[in-house]
């Protein structure tokens, strides 16, 4: 490898790992960069990455210290490199297993490798390749998985420094084994100023489960190029479900009830646009992570969870001072932050829904922009992309939890599963037991909205908000969750939330911050603070407890008529939901019997309730008697 000097070669040799050397040799030979630089955990090396991103034009400095802006490739509003490319994201599986994964894009492994390795031949010509080492999870932790990354994008490498813990020294503890994931990425040929990927028609993101690796080429957008994030989630789900732990699309938050000297940790999984980030960032609470968690059974009888990341790669749309004060403050004060695909005018970034006056011109993801600009298809170009992002370290937030980097993780007291549902589920329901909680999680539905997909109210199934990343048969995934909880002495309570219930006139029955009361009620239930009303779908709150919580946390008078409207049981709607869930899971092979027992048991109980009351909506006050 003539492109690597002795100093950088010594850094590789110091790891004493032949597998790392083999991977580096293979892909440096294939991708043909002009230079190879090895980045250790040293401040000097990490500063080199950040400064080089600016020097090469992949990022530009903004007005506030530490702030930079990055742009991804753009042709039209329908053709760009500014969102996850689902069509060209393929999971590579052996030829005989293609039918085992009906929910995701799969490709026969040998065919996929042949295609992408041909595309990657020479993809780094004229570029510098950086070799990175990261730790997915806290350092010195049994939870964590190490990750090797080769990339020719300094923006990608800089983003990883904000999002992940440095892992060069951790690699030395592998003792020469191959127990790590690895990720090869290239932006491919670049064009323009700022430099963006030229050949996005040859964009490929291939996940090779057999080798524990991701190969990605001809993209810069972090969701496609940052292999350690959602792409690594697929690798971890595959590994976890073939071992004895869980890799989940969870946030982790600490809930701090007023007047109680305690903290309870909750995980939560919500499909897109269902309130995941707003729940994790509720005022008065703390955040461990906003996206991905690894869970293991620990000696204290609890499941413990760690955030595999140290930062947030978040959608910036609608982050404003009123609704997201903590994030907005962090984004408008000096600290190391990368913005992507927003409007910049005089060094100030502007994004959709930021609550500020929008300049009539500036520079954005389409180049020089003026209000009213249209792409070549005649579609108006907004001042910022709807999927524009920010990248920031969690410890930069005032609500960062002190256990963010705890190698033992945090004990999980409860789990939230949330969906978007206008007419069926109450705002919060507690599962009857662990297995029923698994059923609630794998029964998540999310309604589409006209603003995003053009057809409003279409329900899609989103088991544990993880379906897009499912790389094991769904039946196996469900069974593994059942077994995981049954191994726990102190099992977390499970709750289903729904912030989107509407009345018959189409008005939302939940206020934006009402979720704080549902969350605090759930925390109280994990400590036996409240009594409940039992229903066929789970336990629901009593009115008196919610009235107290609304006054205590929101200084709001919660009315009994609101409670009845929100927490009435709707047997007909619930039975229709069960029919949809049944139809989905009948497509799966070998779904555990406990799932069918729960589904059929709920059907019988709901039909009995329907016959007993003969009402479309049954008041919780009737059920309490």
Residues noted as catalytic: 274
Contact call for residues 312 and 389 (beta carbons, < 8 A) = no
- DSSP letter at 448 equals -
**β-strand 293-297 against 303-307: which pairing, if any?**
antiparallel
**What is the three-class DSSP state of 498?**
strand
Contact call for residues 234 and 383 (beta carbons, < 8 A) = no
Please list the residues that pair with 204 across neighbouring strands. 217
Question: Residue 387: CB partners within 8 Å, gap ≥ 6?
Answer: 82, 83, 315, 317, 341
Contact call for residues 90 and 207 (beta carbons, < 8 A) = yes
d(CA 61, CA 523): 43
Of residues 420, 518, 415, 414, the one with CA closest to residue 462: 420
Contact call for residues 69 and 342 (beta carbons, < 8 A) = yes
Q: What string of DSSP letters covers 348-365?
A: EEE-TT-SSPPPSEEEET
- DSSP letter at 395 equals G
- Per-residue burial over 465-475, b if 16 or more Cβ lie within 10 Å, else e, is bbbbbbbbbbe
Please, is 335 exposed, middle or buried when counting C-beta atoms within 10 Å of its C-beta (0-12, 13-18, 19+)? middle
Question: Residue 529: CB partners within 8 Å, gap ≥ 6?
Answer: none
d(CA 461, CA 464): 9
Cα–Cα distances in Å, from 431 out to 240, 394, 440, 578? 24, 31, 7, 16
First to last CA, the chain: 78
**β-strand 251-255 against 264-269: which pairing, if any?**
antiparallel
C-alpha of 396 from chain center: 19
d(CA 430, CA 432): 7
d(CA 193, CA 151): 20
The percent of the chain in helix, strand and coil, each rounded to the nearest 5, is 35, 25, 40
d(CA 123, CA 217): 8
d(CA 297, CA 487): 8
Contact call for residues 30 and 113 (beta carbons, < 8 A) = no
């Amino acid at each position: 490898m003539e492109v690597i000097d002795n100093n950088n070669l010594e850094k590789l040799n110091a790891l004493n790992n032949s597998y790392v050397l083999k991977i580096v040799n293979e892909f440096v030979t294939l991708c043909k960069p002009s230079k190879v630089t090895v980045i250790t955990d040293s401040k000097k090396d990490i500063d080199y990455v950040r400064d080089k991103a600016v020097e090469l034009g992949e990022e530009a400095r903004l007005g506030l210290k530490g702030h930079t802006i990055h742009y991804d490739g753009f042709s039209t509003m329908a053709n760009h490199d500014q969102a996850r490319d689902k069509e060209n994201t393929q999971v590579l599986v052996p030829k005989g297993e293609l039918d085992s994964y009906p929910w995701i894009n799969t490709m026969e492994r040998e065919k996929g490798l042949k295609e992408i390795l041909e595309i990657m031949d020479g993809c780094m010509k004229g570029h510098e390749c950086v070799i990175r080492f990261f730790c997915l999870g806290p350092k010195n932790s049994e939870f964590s998985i190490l990750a090797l990354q080769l990339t020719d994008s300094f923006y990608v490498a800089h983003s990883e420094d904000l999002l992940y813990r440095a892992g060069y020294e951790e690699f030395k503890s592998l003792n020469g084994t191959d127990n790590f994931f690895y990720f090869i990425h290239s932006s491919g040929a670049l064009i323009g100023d700022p430099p963006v990927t030229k050949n996005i028609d040859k964009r490929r993101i291939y996940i090779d489960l057999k080798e524990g690796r991701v190969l990605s080429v001809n993209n810069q957008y972090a969701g496609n190029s940052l292999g350690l994030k959602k792409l690594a989630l697929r690798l971890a789900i595959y590994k976890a479900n073939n071992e004895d732990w869980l890799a989940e699309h969870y946030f982790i938050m600490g809930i701090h009830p007023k007047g109680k000297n305690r903290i309870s940790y909750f995980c939560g999984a919500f499909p897109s646009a269902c309130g995941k980030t707003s729940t994790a960032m509720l005022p008065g609470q703390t955040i461990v992570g906003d996206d991905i968690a690894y869970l293991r059974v620990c000696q204290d009888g609890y499941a413990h969870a760690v955030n595999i990341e140290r930062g947030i790669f978040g959608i910036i749309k609608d982050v404003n001072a009123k609704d997201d004060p903590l994030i907005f403050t962090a984004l408008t004060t000096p600290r190391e932050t990368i913005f992507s695909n927003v409007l910049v005018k005089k060094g100030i970034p502007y994004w959709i829904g930021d609550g500020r006056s929008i300049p009539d011109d500036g520079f954005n993801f389409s180049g020089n922009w003026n209000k009213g600009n249209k792409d070549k298809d005649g579609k108006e170009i907004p001042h910022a992309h709807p999927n524009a992002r920010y990248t920031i370290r969690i410890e930069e937030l005032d609500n960062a939890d002190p256990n963010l980097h705890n190698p033992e993780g945090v004990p999980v007291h409860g789990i939230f599963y949330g969906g978007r549902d206008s007419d069926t589920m109450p705002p919060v329901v507690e599962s009857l037991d662990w297995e029923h909680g698994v059923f609630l999680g794998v029964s998540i539905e999310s309604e589409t909205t006209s603003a995003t997909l053009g057809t409003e109210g279409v329900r899609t199934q989103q088991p544990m908000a993880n379906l897009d990343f499912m790389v094991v048969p769904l039946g196996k995934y469900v069974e593994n969750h059942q077994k995981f909880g049954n191994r726990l002495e102190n099992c977390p309570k499970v709750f289903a939330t729904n912030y989107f219930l509407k009345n018959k006139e189409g008005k939302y029955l939940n206020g934006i911050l009402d979720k704080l009361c549902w969350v605090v009620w759930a925390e109280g239930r994990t400590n036996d603070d409240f009594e409940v009303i039992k229903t066929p779908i789970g336990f629901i709150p009593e009115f008196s407890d919610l009235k107290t919580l609304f006054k205590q946390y929101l200084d709001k008078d919660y009315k009994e008529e609101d409670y009845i409207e929100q927490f009435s049981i709707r047997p007909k709607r619930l039975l229709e939901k069960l029919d949809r869930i049944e139809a989905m899971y009948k497509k799966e092979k070998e779904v555990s019997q406990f799932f069918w027992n729960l589904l059929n048991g709920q059907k019988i109980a709901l039909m009995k309730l329907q016959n007993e009351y003969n009402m479309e909506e049954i008041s919780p006050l009737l059920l309490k008697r």
